[in-house]
Structure 1
Amino acid sequence: MTVLEETALAATPRREEGPTPYARSPKVPDPSRTPTPSYRTLGLATEAVPAMVSMHRTACAFVFARWGLESVADNALLVVSELVTNTVVHGDGNVVSLGMTYAANKLHIVVGDGTPARPVLQKPGPDDERGRGLILVKELADTWGTSDDGTCTYATITVPKNGHR
């Protein structure tokens, strides 16, 4: 797994009684006084093999908890799983990339493999075992679609204002 970019997940330092080392040095900013970022991003890239789907899901579960997105985590994890699975099963690339941005109460998820094959929304019959992934994405996300060149599929989920830290 390659972590391409990750923002705003720094651990908060433990506060102790009395003056902190930050108070003694004007050159070192006090992390406890750092404002909450207006956006957060994460990027992952892995080999495009089925075993990596659960790794993407596990990494996202951790990130959603750190970002305080518990209210949408289940739906967002299902969207990530379906988009990554579609990329691994139907894509032609060797690498699957996942990008997420959380800003202004919107979680934007982008998955791609760099090849222009667009996903197709299926109409599975009642006995079909496959073909429901994008139907789930369509139902769980506020919006979904593909990039103009077809190399990425995206979904956006609205986070309730009281549903995050």
Structure 2
Amino acid sequence: MTTSPPAGETEQVSQPARDESFGAGMAFGFLRTPVEPGATPAPRDLAQVGEVRRICDAKLRGWGLPQHCIDPALLLLTELVTNAIWHGSGHTIGVRLSCTASEVRIQAWGGPVSALTARAPGSLDEHGRGLLLVDTIADAWGVNDAGWVWCSIMINSAVN
């Protein structure tokens, strides 16, 4: 994608309920339960996705974004955080959310990532559609040099 991600690092904290706000953005993280590569993530880690959504929903509403921007942003957030939990190799899951007058940017980190490709899963596959959704809904997405997977939606182009 052509949009470049924001620079800087995020402090990782132990619980997603701790909101480290700064300007029109926030960053937080939570500890991940260690699992063997390819194993199903711990249920408590998967339950964190709902908590992350609640925190980010409140922040997006607090920024005054219209509902037609909030809904796709939360869907994209869910996909990126879920992918970080399922496929990440780090001990923490990081989340960044920022907003400007024209764009909402979502980032997730589950360990270093160098490249991602949306794949075409089989019709009976239970997984594998997340990046297809991101590719379809986001105006831009990619991986930054630090391994954060990011996506953005333009506020004026969000579906009404």
TM-score normalised over the length of structure 1: 0.71
Q: Where does structure 1 differ by over 2 angstroms across 4 or more consecutive aligned residues?
A: 2-5, 113-120
Q: Which structure has the larger Rg over C-alpha atoms?
A: 1
Change (3 A) 1:112 1:93: same
Gaps spanning 5+ residues in structure 1: where?
A: 9-39
> Between Structure 1 and Structure 2, how many residues are aligned?
130
Structure 2 residue 42 is matched with structure 1 residue 58: no
Conserved 8 A contact 1:43-1:97:
yes
Aligned-residue CA RMSD (Å):
2.0
- Offset at residue 4 of structure 1 (A): 5.8
Tell me the amino acid that sits aligned with residue 72 of structure 2. Answer: N
Aligned residue number for residue 110 of structure 2:
113
Aligned residue number for residue 67 of structure 1:
63
Separation in structure 2 between the aligned mates of residue 116 and residue 130 of structure 1, nearest angstrom? 19
Helix, strand or coil at the partner of 1:116: coil
Conserved 8 A contact 1:4-1:45:
no
Helix, strand or coil at the partner of 1:154: strand
Helix, strand or coil at the partner of 2:119: coil
Aligned residue number for residue 42 of structure 1:
26
Separation in structure 2 between the aligned mates of residue 87 and residue 97 of structure 1, nearest angstrom? 9
TM-score normalised over the length of structure 2: 0.73
Helix, strand or coil at the partner of 2:70: helix
Gaps spanning 5+ residues in structure 2: where?
A: 1-14, 33-44
- Offset at residue 71 of structure 1 (A): 2.3
- Overall identity of the aligned pairs, in %: 30
Aligned residue number for residue 74 of structure 2:
77
Separation in structure 1 between the aligned mates of residue 22 and residue 68 of structure 2, nearest angstrom? 21
